[in-house]
Structure 1
């Protein structure tokens, strides 16, 4: 199966986890891992970028499923499907605040799992539209932008920004000290951020050319981060290096 949807399972009951993995594999999905703790979930998800995260709300250990999801959401917009046997309002409210794509209540049957994952996978295939952009997520001024972060608008000077990375319907703004995930596509950011130092170098990356450390044939480097450079953008990048 080409372009299989990649799924990470986070469940501390290994019998349940193995059962989910087997069912998903039989349905044609690629299970990239099974982890049992919140700390492992954060590391695995942010390193391997699954398409979907199936996450138990109540994990054993120091970090709950909701806390793991909150941490992952700070830098990556990975669709989350929660598994939960706890239906109290407090837990639901906390889980809802992480903006999951779906909930599956335990105990669940094969059809529950199949339909829920299929619906989320279909949403991924649809992808962002060209006009996707949240005007309340960021505001561009002459030498700075304001981005919504942890419920408030935070000022970022343009000179602080190293690069901006696409993350499906979101964009991840990278600075030396922190990352800021905004609910706006990279195309929309490119349209709004007209400062000549910020240029598109790849369908998934926009860089601050004043921060470049290395320019190679097919990639760039900023602060030890290797960023791919598409052939279609190469001439444009080299031309704008003279404007730094």
Structure 2
């Protein structure tokens, strides 16, 4: 629990949704409601007039100024953001914008508490000297009609499949409705490297390399000729 409650601002154009979130905030000892606002424009004015928030509970689809546009206009230091929406389709975009979490309405109390705990944990991290940190290994990815949280530390490689891509772990495969090129541009992990026009590999999980063939557990992935120099330079060795 933080030394003092986090100042929380709710932004949602639906009054029932705001009342629901206000109730959840009131139940959480880590939070204190600073403002409950009916839209993005009102929120922008609140912050520009000196209003403060440690946490922003932000709806996405709102008239005049959406929850995807508002964060780009906030003055620094910007609050932590938890997106709260009726739609799952924005999850990837939300996490590209560095949202701490993404909640789908109707919001479950336990899930809400988990999201707040992530914000509390981030705020309590040591801050004496800024240290480079590895990005969170979890990303939300649209798989079919679902948006799944996937731990990319467990992804061995990603394979192109026509206009889709396949995320391959030791035990599962997930078909993602993005091209390999789009995935390569979005992945925030330096250890995922394109080694072939049809493959991206997690270099942390490469067991061995033989004749330009990568061994990742029981899987094998070829290294394309035009990718060999970049790939071998990325390997750590003696």
User: What's the TM-score, normalizing by structure 1?
Assistant: 0.48
